[in-house]
Amino acid sequence: MAIFKIAVTGSAGSGKSLVGACFSELGLKVFDCDKIARQVVEPGEQAYNAIIRFFGKKIVQNNGSLDRTKLRTIISKDAAMRCTIPCTVAKCILVSSSEALSSKSCKS
């Protein structure tokens, strides 16, 4: 039996999650990169640590998570940061996604 991998892409609000939910209802395994993107910036994770090294604790909330609003404000004002941070996070997402997709039991 052939195994197919289908990528569903689109901008925010375009219905990717809806398509994923439909695939799940059909019994297909769904891998959600948005979940990976949130996981790699959780406290203690590689991307989180890189962001903290770059910006310091001023972007950390009391509960230890990133203050995404503050981070977004800082990044939006600096063209170099608009590339640096997304590229750093993207590398972590790629590594985590590749590891998960290559494992026999894709849980994401």
pLDDT digits (tens, 9 = 90+) for 17-74: 899 899 999 988 888 888 888 899 999 998 999 999 988 999 999 999 999 999 889 8
Of residues 87 and 20, the one with the higher pLDDT is 20
What value does the mean pLDDT take over residues 3-17? 84
What value does the mean pLDDT take over residues 76-95? 83
Closest of 46, 88, 43, 35 to residue 65, by C-alpha: 43
pTM summary value = 0.69
| Band (103; pLDDT cuts 50, 70, 90) | low
